Chain A
Amino acid sequence: MSTKWETVIGLEVHVELATETKVWCSCKNEFGAEPNTNVCPVCLALPGSLPVLNARALEYTIKAGLALNCKIQRRSKFDRKNYFYADLPSGYQISQFDLPLCYDGYVDITLKDGTTRRIRIQRIHLETDAGKLVHAGDDVAAADFSLVDFNRAGVPLIEIVTEPDLRSAEEAGLFLEKLRSILKYSGVSDVKMEEGSMRCDVNVSVRPAGSTEFGVRSELKNVNSFSAAVRGIEYEQKRHIRILEEGGQVEQETRSWRDAQGISVLLRSKEDAEDYRYFPEPDLPPVEVTTEEIERIRATLPELPDALMQRLMTEYGLSAYDASVIVAEREYAQWFLQAVELAGADQAKAVANWQINELYRVMNEKELGPDQIPLTPEQLVGMLKLMEKGTITGKIAKTVFDKMVETGKDAETIVKDEGLTQVADEGELLAIAREVVAANPKVFEDWKSGKQSAAQWFVGQIMKRTRGRANPQLALKLVTQALEEQAQK
């Protein structure tokens, strides 16, 4: 009989803060600059240099904590984590050991079956990012030498540590998505995995289902995307179960995830664990945070995705699914809210439909990110107004939509330039209806013998002749009139 296993996962997520400058010096915090151009005595750890805390980095850390329902440490301090590595200029990382700025928070995630799980956040602390290593080839160990760029050294980083509350790779993926979304809403980070502004380490262990004790865990490093996190967890989970089922014991160790090969390899065992020799940073005085300061920062938080989703459902009557895909990205939600404000609340569902069905489709085709929405809310609302007035048909609207995306012009201009106005002139349409009826005696005979679909066929012909610009109801009415006239002849 085989045991049922339960996987226990905890995450350590590193997120770069979107400050103007680095955390301890006034060099620019900027992605993609020429190597070693954003460096100074402090971030290169030249002799004699000293760190001074960036006020905004402190504020953003607290803001992230509030967005993640954390308590804020009233008296916090910084500590040195000592180790040698080529990307670490001072030989220690300034971090926080026993008094992290934020603690005891949580994030609620919604599983596929609709149930909600609360994932507890143990702590969030502020620390320092390291520089970047460039190797000849993609493997550290295989390269004969490495090149170091210290532009990233000293960029403010927060480390978010969860409790071991996640139970599957899927949950971990949902958690990371949710976390990313909340942090982006709160404006503290760009959270771009591809630029490395969000990275994570994964702790995985496995235990017999129902057990309350934790199994031995392995820590997975170098996990550089959400999908890599999911794959890495699945891999570790299988590896642990295989070891346990073969009667072996899982070793506590740190492993490196090689996403391209889909495997993890041993980085170091527990015995080789680094002794970081943490001690309080003597160059930095402690930080005190008052209630007033916390409330001031809280007031700068925007409406966060959970609250917004509720509002979209109750205030605008959107379905849970529609609301969730709109709040998934801060830019999408802002776009939607702007459009609704222009169009009026009664148009909310129409806006949502166009946004989800058409806008996302186009963006998907063009592989555009949420910060590259190719249409303004004004453009969409202008188009909706033309539909409402009956200037264009729903069918034409799709054409107008695509042209708006393509040219950036507004709907009215496109409709005018392309002559897409709905033909609502009864006289003109009746003339066309008479012509098509006269020209197709066979179909007319079908209609006469009682085949109702024949009338629809004639409407189609009118649409063809008007290139879709005819009002469909009017066209049907006039076709019917033309057919009856013909029958009386």
Chain B
Amino acid sequence: MALTRDEIARVAHMARLSLSEEEIEGFAEQLSRILEHVERINQVDVTDVPPTYHAVTLQNVLREDEPQPSLERETVLALAPESEAGCYKVPKITEG
């Protein structure tokens, strides 16, 4: 399946990746080739085959509802690129 530049741009936006023109060109070609290989799975008959989401079967792994200490605010905010008034600071929120 060949991917168009438009599709690459759409996926890049969905993934929040700004790509250069060069990257878009390169990815369109590379991803098309990889997808071509990946599409081999369509040759397999998987009718009535259930999907495997987990490699080892486990269920109901639960935690008791008991509070444990949180991290110090100073510690976590020190990791942040920008903070103010005990909060993380982010640029102007635009829709989309």
A320 within 8 A of B: no
Residues of A within 8 A of B53 (CB): 77, 280, 282
B71 within 8 A of A: yes
Residues of B within 8 A of A260 (CB): none
Provided the pairs A26-B63, A53-B62 are in contact, do residues A37 and B73 lie with their beta carbons within 8 angstroms?
yes
- Decide: B65 and A21 in contact? CB cutoff 8 A: yes
B87 within 8 A of A: yes
- Decide: A148 and B14 in contact? CB cutoff 8 A: no
Task: From the candidates B71, B90, B95, name the one contacting A148 in the complex (CB within 8 A).
Answer: B90
B8 shortest CB reach to chain A, Å:
15
- Decide: A37 and B70 in contact? CB cutoff 8 A: yes
Residues of A within 8 A of B85 (CB): 35, 147
A90 shortest CB reach to chain B, Å:
14
- Decide: A148 and B87 in contact? CB cutoff 8 A: yes
Residues of B within 8 A of A37 (CB): 70, 73
Closest to A56 in B: B65
Task: From the candidates A53, A146, A272, name the one contacting B90 in the complex (CB within 8 A).
Answer: A146
Provided the pairs A20-B65, A53-B63, A282-B54 are in contact, do residues A39 and B70 lie with their beta carbons within 8 angstroms?
yes
- Decide: B61 and A285 in contact? CB cutoff 8 A: yes
A55 within 8 A of B: yes
Provided the pairs A145-B92, A147-B84 are in contact, do residues A20 and B67 lie with their beta carbons within 8 angstroms?
yes
- Decide: B62 and A54 in contact? CB cutoff 8 A: yes
- Decide: A288 and B64 in contact? CB cutoff 8 A: no
- Decide: A21 and B67 in contact? CB cutoff 8 A: yes
Q: Which of A140-180 contact B (CB under 8 A)?
A: 140-141, 143-150
Provided the pairs A133-B93, A141-B95 are in contact, do residues A35 and B59 lie with their beta carbons within 8 angstroms?
no
Q: Which of B48-64 contact A (CB under 8 A)?
A: 53-54, 57-64
Task: From the candidates B54, B86, B90, name the one contacting A285 in the complex (CB within 8 A).
Answer: B54
Closest to A284 in B: B61
Residues of B within 8 A of A268 (CB): 95-96
Task: From the candidates B62, B68, B77, B86, name the one contacting A55 in the complex (CB within 8 A).
Answer: B62
* Proximity string of chain A (101-115) to chain B, C-beta cutoff 8 Å, 1 when within and 0 when not: 000000000000000
Provided the pairs A36-B76, A55-B64 are in contact, do residues A147 and B88 lie with their beta carbons within 8 angstroms?
yes
Q: Which of B54, B65, B87 has the most CB of A within 10 A?
A: B65
Provided the pairs A39-B76, A282-B54 are in contact, do residues A147 and B89 lie with their beta carbons within 8 angstroms?
yes
- Decide: B88 and A141 in contact? CB cutoff 8 A: no
B20 within 8 A of A: no
- Decide: A20 and B73 in contact? CB cutoff 8 A: no
Residues of B within 8 A of A38 (CB): 70
A272 to B10, CA, bound (A): 12
A105 to B65, CA, bound (A): 27
A313 within 8 A of B: no
Given pairs A20-B66, A21-B66, A141-B93, 17 additional interface contacts (CB within 8 A): A21-B67, A27-B70, A39-B71, A40-B68, A44-B76, A46-B79, A53-B62, A55-B62, A140-B93, A143-B92, A143-B93, A144-B92, A147-B87, A148-B87, A149-B86, A286-B59, A288-B59
Can you list 12 A-B contacts (CB < 8 A)? A35-B86, A39-B73, A52-B63, A53-B61, A146-B89, A146-B92, A148-B90, A150-B88, A284-B61, A285-B59, A286-B54, A287-B60
